[in-house]
A = this chain, B = another copy of it.
Amino acid sequence: MRILFIGDVVGRSGRRIVTETLPELRRRWALDLVVINGENAAGGFGITETIYNELVEAGADAITLGNHSFDQREALVFIERAPNLIRPGNYPAGTPGRGAAMVETAKGQRVLIMNLMGRIFMDAMDDPFALADRELAACPLGQAADAILVDFHGEATSEKMAFGHAFDGRASVIVGTHTHIPTADHQVLSGGTAYQSDVGMTGDFDSVIGMEKDEPVRRFLTKIPSGRFEAAKGPATLCGLAVETDDATGLALKVAPLRLGGRLSETQPDFW
């Protein structure tokens, strides 16, 4: 199966490169599944229903979120009627929406998509390790699902690598989001799970993690806010992770980063 995961889309600039390139990528590479992290799609803060629909029309099978899930308060409502909008599963019980969804591809393959939040240097959520263990036990890879993708939304590289190893062999892909900077450590772990500590944002890299740089730089210098954070408006780099899985086992065969446009050096999977 051919899977493309696209990292935190930031604001209008990030959305533009998705809508302009994803339809063609999906066709050219005959992608079976596209998942996008959309937690920053609305001006950097959360997601609206309009934007959710825009990303789905551009070719996303599912949208994952993170600590910004509900920055746009309408998300608390429309998430209930958006079956493939997935927020971190380790929010408290009773939170609107769901933390995992089973998506069926055009060829009829079932893919479990999970979203989890890390806890190191982040808000206090329920244990993502214990939750993943329960959910993956209930949905064995290669049996109950043809592929499993986990978007682990976290800050600390230690927690992300530990999570990768803890569930190596039980998911097809474990990919990090949230730091907004792509890491160059994509690999197939020894148990067969494709892993990357952070896929990076889809946004303008002439910025501070996607935001216009003046205000954040000034805050570091002065320790006093003097304005709001606004999504940077320059051309975005689309950051993604391409994974080819074995249809029999669900494990990863190949993994490569995708980077298109903007300021970062471009790279594409050479196996498609």
Contacts and interface: CB of A to CB of B under 8 A. Distances in A.
A184 B221 CA distance: 26
A163 B256 CA distance: 29
A51 interface: no
B185 A223 contact: no
Interface residues of A, number: 60
A89 B209 CA distance: 26
Number of copies: 4
A179 B154 CA distance: 13
B205 A187 contact: yes
B208 A165 contact: yes
Nearest to A118: B124
Nearest to A75: B224
A186 B126 CA distance: 30
A209 B160 CA distance: 10
Interface in A250-272: 257, 259, 263-265, 267
26 contacts: A91-B223, A92-B129, A92-B130, A92-B221, A92-B223, A121-B155, A123-B223, A124-B124, A124-B223, A126-B130, A155-B155, A157-B179, A158-B216, A161-B181, A161-B213, A162-B213, A162-B216, A162-B220, A165-B208, A181-B183, A184-B264, A184-B265, A186-B265, A187-B205, A187-B263, A189-B206
B127 A162 contact: no
Looking at A95, A125, A184, A213, which has the most chain B CB atoms within 10 Å of its CB? A184
A44 to B, nearest CB: 12
B124 A120 contact: yes
Contacts of A93: 130
Contacts of A126: 126-127, 130
A222 interface: yes
